[in-house]
């Protein structure tokens, strides 16, 4: 049996172009939450070609100890190298938990590590609690309508943390953590990787708008987008956005996409029309000042995140709202 003082929680830092991604600090917040139920030492692992600047930055801002693994062959975030190196590290030091961000990269590496080490992997974790004596990891299911509390029986439990759910960690102590640097040579053949920006820009009117009227799958037919634009028309300083599914269909432009993979917005007023409200979308708008949701599905998850809930079909409600507005403004 390991003593508490020997138990380890690993956090695998995400970084890109020599910048620590904010989600890394959300992983720290998650690790601290685990630590409340499960006393252990938290250590941040960072892999990269050059890690000095980043590893000291993490040690300084979090007060946590950092292991930096420098791999000359590591261009971008090559998942193959991450999996191989982290497998060795895991088998050497038997961490109780390994935390990744639930991003395309984090998920890929987490699944690989899970199969290679035989450690269970729970993806998209948004919360931690104890049910009886069992430590459980909360994740959304069924379009955000249900929370599942999942437990695993595993020597090493691998977790991917849903970005935008744990908040950013603020350290209690000002004392920086230590940094241990290792150099690893990677000799296997590597899958070539190139990273480029999407051709469309994200320079979008929705990031500046005071009011956003946003459409989701619930609008039904494409013609109903007209209603969304008409509704936006009654608010000064407004813009129209929407969820990914409408962008996929080509009904909206990519720069209008709100959510984790689109633009993240925080207008004074957000009107969600026919949006179900899964965490991918919520992460892009939950900082909004005042949220109104219109959805005919009374169980839609968006209502949990709203100040005002209108359980109506938007095809009848929005015309009624516009008619009422026109009547008022003439009076």
Partner 1 sequence: MKILVCIKPVPDSESEIAIDDSKSWIKEINLFRMNRFDEFALEEALSIKDRDKNVKIDVISVGSAASKDVIKRALGMGADSGILIYTEDPGYISPYMTAGYIASYVKEKSYDIIFTGVMSEDYMHGQVGPFIAEMLGRPCASFVVKQEILYDSKCVYAEREIDGGLIEAVQVSLPAVFTIHSGINKPRYPSLSNMLRAGRTEIEIIDSNLISFPVLKQKIMLLTVPEKRREGVVLSGSVKEKAARLLHILSEKAFIN
Judged by CB under 8 A, the chain residues 84 through 143 that form the site for partner 1 are 102-105, 107-108, 111-112, 114-116, 118-124, 131, 134, 136, 139-143
Which helix (H) or strand (E) covers residue 314, if one does? helix 314-330
What x-and-dash track marks residues 240-259 binding partner 1 by CB under 8 A?
A: ----xx-xxx----------
| DSSP character at residue 307 | S
State the Cα–Cα distance between residues 96 and 16, nearest whole angstrom: 27
What angle is formed at CA 103 by the lines to CA 162 and CA 242, rounded to 5 degrees?
75
Side-chain half-sphere of 262: how many Cα atoms within 13 Å? Answer: 27
The residue count for the chain: 331
The closest alpha carbon to 113, from 83, 143, 75, 77, belongs to 83
What x-and-dash track marks residues 19-58 binding partner 1 by CB under 8 A?
A: --x-------------------------------------
Q: Which one of the spans 29-37, 49-57, 169-177, 317-325 is the region binding partner 1 (CB under 8 A)?
A: 317-325
Residue 101 · residue 26 · CB < 8 Å: yes
**Nearest residue (CB) to partner 1, 38 versus 143:** 143
Strands 19-20 and 15-16: antiparallel
Tokens matching residue 117: 């080490």
What angle is formed at CA 199 by the lines to CA 194 and CA 200, rounded to 5 degrees?
145
Q: Which of 151, 184, 207, 230 binds partner 1 (CB under 8 A)?
A: 151
What x-and-dash track marks residues 270-309 binding partner 1 by CB under 8 A?
A: ------x-x-------x---xxx---xx-xxx-xxxxxxx
Minimum distance between the CB of residue 219 and partner 1, rounded to whole angstroms?
A: 13
**Nearest residue (CB) to partner 1, 61 versus 243:** 243
Q: Which one of the spans 39-47, 51-59, 146-154, 178-186 is the region binding partner 1 (CB under 8 A)?
A: 146-154
Q: Which one of the spans 37-45, 62-70, 164-172, 310-318 is the region binding partner 1 (CB under 8 A)?
A: 310-318
Site for partner 1 in 195-234 (CB under 8 A): 195-198, 200, 202, 211, 217-218, 234
**Nearest residue (CB) to partner 1, 30 versus 275:** 275
Minimum distance between the CB of residue 179 and partner 1, rounded to whole angstroms?
A: 26
Q: Which one of the spans 28-36, 51-59, 60-68, 323-331 is the region binding partner 1 (CB under 8 A)?
A: 323-331
Residue 94 · residue 72 · CB < 8 Å: no
**Nearest residue (CB) to partner 1, 67 versus 140:** 140
State the Cα–Cα distance between residues 273 and 208, nearest whole angstrom: 20
Give the torsion sign (CA, 312, 313, 314, 319). Answer: negative
Tokens matching residue 232: 């936006």
Residue 293 · residue 302 · CB < 8 Å: yes
Minimum distance between the CB of residue 289 and partner 1, rounded to whole angstroms?
A: 9
Q: Which of 269, 272, 273, 283 binds partner 1 (CB under 8 A)?
A: 269
């Amino acid at each position: 049996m390991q003593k508490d003082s020997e138990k380890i929680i690993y956090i695998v830092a995400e970084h890109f172009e020599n910048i620590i991604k904010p989600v890394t600090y959300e992983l720290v917040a998650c690790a601290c939450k685990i630590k409340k139920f499960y006393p252990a030492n938290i250590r941040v692992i960072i892999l990269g070609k050059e890690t000095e600047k980043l590893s000291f930055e993490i040690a300084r801002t979090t007060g946590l100890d950092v292991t930096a693994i420098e791999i000359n062959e590591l261009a971008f975030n090559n998942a193959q190298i991450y999996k191989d190196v982290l497998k060795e590290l895991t088998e050497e030091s038997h961490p109780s938990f390994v935390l990744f961000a639930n991003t395309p990269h984090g998920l890929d590496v987490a699944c690989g590590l899970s199969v290679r080490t035989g450690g269970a992997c729970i993806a998209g974790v948004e919360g931690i609690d104890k049910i009886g004596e069992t430590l459980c990891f909360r994740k959304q299911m069924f379009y955000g309508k249900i929370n599942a509390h999942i437990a695993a029986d595993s020597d090493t439990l691998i977790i991917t943390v849903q970005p935008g759910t744990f908040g950013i960690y603020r350290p209690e102590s000002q004392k920086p953590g230590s940094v241990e640097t290792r150099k690893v040579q990677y000799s296997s053949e590597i899958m070539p990787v190139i990273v480029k920006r999407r051709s469309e820009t994200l320079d979008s009117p929705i990031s500046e708008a005071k009011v956003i009227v946003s459409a989701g799958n619930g609008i039904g037919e494409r013609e109903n987008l007209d209603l969304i634009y008409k509704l936006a028309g009654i608010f000064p300083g407004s813009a129209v956005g929407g969820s990914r599914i409408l962008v996929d269909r080509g009904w909206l432009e990519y720069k209008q996409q709100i959510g984790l993979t689109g633009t993240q917005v925080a207008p004074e007023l957000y009107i969600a029309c026919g949006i179900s409200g899964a965490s991918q979308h919520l992460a892009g708008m939950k900082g909004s000042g005042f949220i109104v949701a219109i959805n005919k599905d009374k169980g839609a998850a968006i209502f949990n995140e709203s100040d005002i809930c209108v359980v109506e079909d938007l095809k009848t409600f929005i015309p009624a709202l516009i008619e009422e507005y026109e009547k008022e403004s003439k009076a």
